[in-house]
Amino acid sequence: MEDEAPVIRVLLVDDDAIVRAGLRLMLGGAPDIELVAEAADGAEVPALVAAHEPHLVLMDIRMPGVDGLAATETLRARPGAPDVLVLTTFHTDAHVLRALRAGAAGFLLKDTPPQEIVTAIRTVAAGDPVLSPAVTRRLIDQVAGDSGRDTRATAARARLALLAERERDVALAVGRGLSNAEIGRELHLALPTVKTHVSRILTRLDLNNRVQIALLVHDAALPDSGRR
């Protein structure tokens, strides 16, 4: 008899009771997902995380009181924090970029089909971000040309300089939106080796996920970071 898949414990945070009801109904149909608690304000998140120990927080960005951005930043700054999957209305919302910088594992539009939301939760729980390469590039392009660009570029280049040569190659490839398999083919590395390099990059640079690697590479604006 095969072992059952582990249950993914989810905390739902959204100020709209109707949205919460719809998500509650949808998640209730997934045998491997358990909705352990709900909140209508980001201020409730720390206590609920401590009480229920969710694996993932499904977080609305726009809420009165403590919004999803502040809640994500506070939560992800703590050791052992659960993953955060952001809910938003606009896929080009600049606030999404702030959430990703804070360590969110990706985002979902509120009109995403139910099965795709379930799949996204499973994907994040498995350790992968929910953000396509095309969306990653579109989001990080929003920061180009802003007033803090030069300062961020200098800081980002200093951090990337901490990497070994092969780690830097992998980081640049992640920044271009390549998957682990694509990186392996381009750099002639076995898939487990690529995964090891990505893990080392995250540890060495104190980052949460590969989306943050992509943002750092984009900030650095290195000459070879956009090569395809």
Digit-by-digit pLDDT tens for the chain (228 residues) are 455 668 999 999 999 999 899 999 999 989 999 999 999 999 999 999 999 999 999 999 888 889 998 999 999 888 889 999 988 876 555 677 788 888 888 888 888 888 889 999 998 888 777 865 555 556 656 655 555 667 778 888 999 999 999 999 999 998 887 888 899 999 999 999 999 999 999 999 988 788 888 888 888 876 665 554
Q: The tokens 């800081």 sit on which residue?
A: 155
What distance in Å separates the CA atoms of residue 129 and residue 150, rounded to the nearest whole number? 28
What distance in Å separates the CA atoms of residue 72 and residue 45, rounded to the nearest whole number? 9
Question: What are 58's strand-pairing partners?
Answer: 12, 85
What distance in Å separates the CA atoms of residue 82 and residue 134, rounded to the nearest whole number? 26
- The 3-state secondary structure of 172-226, one letter per residue: HHHHCCCCHHHHHHHHCCCHHHHHHHHHHHHHHHCCCCHHHHHHHHHHHCCCCCC
- Altogether, the residues listed in the chain come to a count of 228
What distance in Å separates the CA atoms of residue 178 and residue 132, rounded to the nearest whole number? 10
Whether the model pTM is above 0.85: no
